[in-house]
Amino acid sequence: MRYAHDLSQIQLDKPSILAIGVFDGVHRGHRFLISQLVETAQKCGCYAGLLSFHPHPDTVLQVVPTRYYLTTETERTTLLQSLGLDFMVMHPFNQTVMRMPAQDFVNQLVAQLQIRTLWVGRDFALGYQRQGNVAYLTEYGQQVGFTVVALDLVDQSGQVISATTVRQKLLQGDVEGANDLLGYSYRLSGTVIHGYKRGRQIGFPTANIEVPPDKIVPRNGVYATRLQVGGRWYSAATNVGMNPTFGNDHLSVEAHILDFDQDIYGEQVQLTFESFLRPELKFNGLDALIAQLKQDVQQTRQLLSAR
């Protein structure tokens, strides 16, 4: 697959069918759309391509939470690269793009990508003040030689799926619901850093993971998770939150890795969220905390072994 960081970096030698969107999360709706696009492009002898944006336009055009992304740029690109596309452009979204007239941007698409058909969401719009909505693109496409297909993002069963709904489920702690919409387990990647080492002192050592600052972290609580380190996967009971028993003043993601006793400080790990166990609680003492942690570990074993 050809990959470009800017529309100006790619020049196609034959027509293409192009989908435009952010594709944050690359959820089941995105993947079904792309599978249809690839199939259609193969039938007509066209390139199958995708144009995405980074940073997310929402983070530039409106006030959104600091933690907003479902996937980092690298994660999104990796997921998209596996879907059979011929090319992908991750175009920068900045003040220049935001102020560009819709006609100018579309003319670039025609010149660089030879678009024959443009696939967009029904509420899609591009260009200054969202001038390039579906009606505009359809009319202008007739003048310059492409058609427009406006689609809802649905999966193979017809269920409408949106990144907004996935975000909402994660913030509610419904990681199983979010995973169902994504088609894979929601994940955070990061470096294992030194913490307060309180878990080790009470027999439950944890890997304190420094996660990307702009990615959504599920609702505070304890989760059954899986953690990958050194090419291997392990079950883990993971606490997300402020550790109220100890009065922390910052968010932490701490994974107690089951049946594991290695020094992994500085290692890059990947954590997938499988099930919500319970909300974060403040305990009256260490005995109550330890008793609950034992239950968390037992429940994690049961849930993950069953899967």
Residue 202 predicted with pLDDT over 90: no
pLDDT at 286: 85
Checking if the pLDDT of 246 tops 70, the result is no
Question: Quick one: 75 and 198 in the same domain?
Answer: no
Same structural domain, 184 and 155: no
- DSSP string of 31-74? HHHHHHHHHHHHHHTPEEEEEEEES-HHHHHS---SS-BSS-HH
Sign for the CA dihedral angle at 173, 179, 182, 184 comes to: positive
**CATH code for position 194:** 2.40.30.30
Task: Give the pTM.
Answer: 0.92
Q: Are 10 and 89 in contact (CB under 8 A)?
A: yes
Instruction: Judge whether residue 49 has pLDDT over 70.
Output: yes
Task: Give residue 183's pLDDT.
Answer: 97
Q: How far is it, in rounded angstroms, from Cα 18 to Cα 220?
A: 39
Q: Which helix (H) or strand (E) element contains residue 274?
A: strand 268-278
Q: How does DSSP classify residue 173?
A: T
Q: Which range is least confidently modeled, 208-212, 221-225, 282-286?
A: 282-286
| pLDDT reading at 195 higher than 80 | no
Residues 62 and 121 in one domain: yes
Flag whether pLDDT at 96 surpasses 80: yes
Residue 86: closest CA among 148, 18, 156, 175 = 18
Say if 166 falls within a structural domain: no
- Boundary-marking domain end, from 128, 161, 194: 161
Residues 39 and 184 in one domain: no
Amino acid 297: pLDDT:
96
The fraction of the chain above a pLDDT of 70, given in percent, is 96
Last residue of a domain, one of 140, 161, 182: 161
Q: What is the mean pLDDT of residues 227-252?
A: 84
pLDDT of residue 285: 80
